[in-house]
Structure 1
């Protein structure tokens, strides 16, 4: 959601819009609706701009400065502005200026062309343009996030439909997740060994952000007579509901896997893991790795669990990989050659 600070409201005449309806025929994707945003392409001036977000929660039409530069628009047409865009969390972004650009929605003859006022802002965004309520209302456009399309009345008087680009929508969504907040400067210090993080905190595959914590305190619930087999539930649950949850968990203790042996194997026809090896690849013995005592004990313990469960088995080779040794051979002509033993 984007809103313009101190924006003056002007009463506009009500526009006559024909009846617009959405039916099951408007679905244009075989994939299920993943709550993707509606991303379309519009023509601004003589250029076709992709990755345009239709945002009904925005009270402004926004063009990002990177898009403005790529369009090679003249800065003389950019009008200065002292407004600010306010996000839903209260962050404020200064507006560099605003510009009027002729914008076409849809493809002729099922299209509509209007002059749209864009606010230019200098910040990162996976989108090139955000069309908010001002332009959507000007076009008389109705957005359906269920059908992932937008409908409007074209210049020819027909109801035009523009569907969202699912591929670009997912690309914009993934690009937005990769945005990293600027980190504050850190001072390197010397710590004692007791203050150092453990191995799990140093794992490069884990998220460096703070792990989520339960919203309330937890209560331990024993599922069997064995004290080691228990789980936790929220302590703030009502007494009657907590007892129902406890009874349900105790009645289905067979669904819990306490050790690898409790997890039955899957049939290869259901799921099978294989290594994608090239048919011409040579078998190469890896170099033996030296592990510390703590890691060696942990690896041995986990390996023994898998052996006991029958998930893996030990294979003993009668011979290892053969090491080739070259021999010097003297030919009849007196010249020397190198050959390998057969």
Structure 2
């Protein structure tokens, strides 16, 4: 490769003329990884790792024996953790000759669903001395000032695909690593009032049958201590349970438009409420 002095990297309005403005699109590029042209590659300055998603890894025909095991977890935006299947090193080529660069990139292979095939993070961007511009949807690097243009149409397709994707698919690898605590004993549901079947409580099953029967009789005789509604919770200061909105009375209320969620999110919201 011809040696170049460190040139100045600049972005101009001319670089942004091909785009639809205004926009908040992500930077999606195409690269050559190994023997394959890989599209839908997200350039993410926030990512501390370079990632290939397992479906793309499989389509490239790379054997799993090339994966080097690693125990470092990936921490997501919400603090969730995912574990990779391993690390694979591939030669990556970007740019057009002669403003072209080829370097080995260590990718973490992650087995979860994504609209992207891969993510280029800070390790590769720093190794390339690359400069990104989300406004221009472009990456420039100092090898004769090579450049990579993002694909705005693909970026919007990926955004729609991610919004429509089921949450349980995105969290599949995280769920496999989660340890769920088991209860110390099974619980038995007890009806306190036969005329009101909704009034129930639960007791443990490790005690003997005699002890459980005595406990059930005791609970039924003293069911008046249970509060079945807020009105029955007497003696509590209303300031503790009354919620007020700290808004200025001089402002008129504005009704927000109804937000529509996907079916899976609607179910999750209903369960949480």
Shorter chain as normaliser: what TM range?
A: 0.5 to 0.7
Report Cα offsets for 1:34-73 as digits up to 9, x if no partner.
2100000000112100000000000000011111100001
Select the residue among 16, 21, 26 that pairs with 1:32: 21
Report Cα offsets for 1:200-252 as digits up to 9, x if no partner.
xxxxxxxxxxxxxxxx856xxxxxxxxxxxxxxxx523xxxx53x45xx9xxx
Distance in 1, Cα, partners of 2:36 & 2:75: 29
Q: What's the secondary structure of 1:79's corresponding residue?
A: coil
Who wins on radius of gyration, i.e. which is larger?
1
Match of 1:166 in 2: 152
1:148 and 2:134 are equivalent in the alignment: no
Select the residue among 78, 86, 93 that pairs with 1:97: 86
* Contact 2:19-2:152 at 8 Å conserved across structures: no
Q: Count the aligned residue pairs.
A: 179
Select the residue among 163, 171, 196 that pairs with 1:177: 163
Structure-to-structure mapping, 1:318-337, within 5 angstroms: none
Provide the alpha-carbon RMSD of the alignment.
2.5
- Answer 1 or 2: higher relative contact order, Cα 8 Å, separation at least 6: 2
1:67 and 2:56 are equivalent in the alignment: yes
Distance in 1, Cα, partners of 2:16 & 2:139: 11
Distance in 1, Cα, partners of 2:167 & 2:118: 22
Match of 1:139 in 2: 128
1:82 and 2:71 are equivalent in the alignment: yes
Unaligned runs of 5+ in 1: 1-15, 184-215, 219-234, 250-342
Return the offset for 1:138. 0.7
Return the offset for 1:74. 2.2
Distance 1:24 1:123, change over 3 A: same
User: By percentage of residues, which structure has more helix?
Assistant: 2
* Contact 1:28-1:163 at 8 Å conserved across structures: no
Unaligned runs of 5+ in 2: 170-242, 255-273
Q: What's the secondary structure of 2:85's corresponding residue?
A: strand
Distance 1:118 1:30, change over 3 A: closer
Structure 1: 4+ residue segments shifted above 3 A:
none
